Amino acid sequence: MTKLIALVDGSVYSRSVCENAAWIAARAGDAAPHQARVELLHVLGRRQAEGGAANLSGNIALGARTTLLNELAELDARTAKLAQARGRAILDDAARVLDEAGIADVGTRLRAGDLVETLAEMEADADLIVIGKRGEAADFARLHLGSNLERIARVAKKPVFVAARAFRPIERMLIAFDGGTSALKAVDHIARSRILAGLDCRLLMVGQDTPDARRSLDGAAAILKGGGYAVTAEIRSGQPDTVISKAVEDDGIDLLIMGAYGHSRIRSLIIGSTTSEMIRSCKIPVMLFR
């Protein structure tokens, strides 16, 4: 059974997450009828689940202490109930989007706790994780990625599909190939999967056109051709983020596929990451493999 986990919150990306999940589930259903399931997940942070009121007990005068502490406790309880009601409403709206798209096998889960920890518990029997590029707290003006997205992309064991702000059907995909373990894993996964079958497939390696690079690229192309894809492959020189962004724009690419965070966490924090830059700058979905 093909199983997707779609993460939804109150951001403008939630609808796109659902529409992309529906598109993927429908494609998986074509390969194995009635075998695609979407699990919608909304996670309340611990402060949301507990109410999250500020601790004012140290500022309360002695005579009013008991009364005000009781009122604060009641406020916490009401706030927690409102957060749960909001979470259920988000899940109901998301399920409605999938139902309208014709996806019958849909589950909803409202959990409390840390999102990454919750996802780690659920992803074992999943095939793909779908998440929006930015969450509710993201700074759109500064193009900040959602902090949860970066955390998930760095630790998830399953492929992560990062939805753009608006959904559009996918016809052309570009695999940013560097010959590394993550890129080879992406190529092998795509060759075996039927979800992306029939799409226009392009392989792009950025760097010097050496015999070793050409051999690695040709090997990846052969794997994809063995999976039934008609593949075009090329090597271009330049800076990876600039070259890949230009190829996406010039070639009308609908989905970018790449390895996630090839450098260590510390190195990425210091010099940045091609992965993060691609997610930030591209206006199309990005599918990440570790």
Q: Mind listing the pLDDT tens digit of every residue in the chain (290 residues)?
A: 789 999 999 888 999 999 999 999 999 876 554 568 999 999 997 665 555 544 554 555 555 667 777 777 788 788 888 989 999 999 999 999 999 999 999 999 999 999 899 999 999 999 999 999 875 555 444 444 557 787 888 888 899 999 999 999 999 999 999 888 888 999 999 999 889 999 999 999 999 999 999 999 999 999 999 999 999 999 999 988 889 999 999 999 999 998 876 544 433 333 346 677 777 777 899 999 98
pLDDT (0 to 100) of residue 230: 92
Query: Do 21 and 153 sit in the same domain of this protein?
Result: yes
Q: Which two tokens stand for residue 30?
A: 């074509």
Query: Do 46 and 15 sit in the same domain of this protein?
Result: yes
Last residue of a domain, one of 106, 139, 167: 167
Asked whether 260 and 153 are in contact (CB, 8 A), the reply is yes
Last residue of a domain, one of 105, 136, 167: 167
Query: Do 130 and 234 sit in the same domain of this protein?
Result: no
Query: Do 40 and 115 sit in the same domain of this protein?
Result: yes
Query: Do 223 and 108 sit in the same domain of this protein?
Result: no
CATH code for the domain in which residue 53 is found: 3.40.50.620
Query: Do 147 and 109 sit in the same domain of this protein?
Result: yes
Asked whether 200 and 53 are in contact (CB, 8 A), the reply is no
- Does 137 map to a domain? yes
pLDDT (0 to 100) of residue 194: 84
Query: Do 37 and 151 sit in the same domain of this protein?
Result: yes
Query: Do 56 and 183 sit in the same domain of this protein?
Result: no
- Does 232 map to a domain? yes
Strands 2-7 and 128-132: parallel
pTM > 0.85: no
Query: Do 134 and 173 sit in the same domain of this protein?
Result: no
Last residue of a domain, one of 167, 198, 229: 167
- Does 290 map to a domain? no
Closest CA relative to residue 36, chosen from 98, 88, 103, 117: 103
pLDDT (0 to 100) of residue 50: 57
Query: Do 140 and 212 sit in the same domain of this protein?
Result: no
Partners of 128 in the β-ladder: 4
- Does 162 map to a domain? yes
- Does 156 map to a domain? yes
pLDDT (0 to 100) of residue 177: 92
Asked whether 221 and 235 are in contact (CB, 8 A), the reply is no
Query: Do 62 and 127 sit in the same domain of this protein?
Result: yes
CB burial string 98-119: b at 16+ within 10 A, e below = beebebebbebebbbeebeebb
Output the CA–CA distances (angstroms, integers) from residue 282 to 18, 126, 190, 249, 275, in the order listed.
19, 26, 21, 9, 11
Query: Do 201 and 277 sit in the same domain of this protein?
Result: yes
- As for how many domains the chain has, the answer is 2
- Does 80 map to a domain? yes
* Domain encompassing residue 222: 168-285
